[in-house]
């Protein structure tokens, strides 16, 4: 059975890159969101197996969305996506319950490694 993934990033190009990596490797992208509020709403609706979450977004950032999703579902599996130089935010995200993080620009093998590890595959 393929695992369902929700991709959250305010940049459509970044969502497309992650979608392509995941779908080529047997994962099903069940939804996408462009900001933290959409991420929380889509998570409630879709209950995906995994979320990839950008840290820096308009409306509601990834860390706030992470905290809200984890409050709804303490078992939520969320991987944070960050640009170089955001180590402080990555640490905050891990402390808030993120399972792993990947750094932009995305490298397919690192994305897949984080996904497999987070899903326990």
- Domains belonging to the chain, first-starting first, are 18-115 (3.40.50.2300)
**Tens digits of per-residue pLDDT, 51-88?**
999 999 988 999 999 999 999 999 999 999 988 777 88
Strands of the 4-8 sheet, one edge to the other: 28-33, 4-8, 50-54, 78-82, 100-103
Mean pLDDT in residue range 29-56: 97
Residue 39's nearest CA partner among 58, 55, 19, 53 is 53
Residue 1, both tokens = 């059975």
CB 108 within 8 A of CB 116: no
CB 18 within 8 A of CB 27: no
Say if residue 36's pLDDT is above 90: yes
Residue 119, both tokens = 């899903």
Say if residue 1's pLDDT is above 60: no
User: 60: which DSSP letter?
Assistant: S
């Amino acid at each position: 059975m393929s695992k369902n993934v929700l991709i959250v990033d305010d940049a459509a190009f970044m969502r497309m890159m992650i979608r392509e990596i995941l779908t080529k490797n047997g994962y099903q992208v069940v939804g996408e969101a462009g900001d933290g509020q959409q991420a929380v709403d889509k998570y409630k609706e879709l209950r995906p197996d995994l979320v990839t979450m950008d840290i820096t977004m308009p409306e509601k950032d990834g860390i706030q969305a992470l905290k809200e999703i984890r409050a709804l579902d303490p078992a939520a599996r969320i991987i944070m996506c960050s640009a170089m130089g955001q180590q402080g935010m990555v640490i905050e995200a891990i402390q808030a319950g993120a399972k792993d993080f990947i750094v932009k620009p995305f490298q397919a093998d690192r994305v897949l490694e984080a996904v497999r590890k987070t899903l326990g595959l």
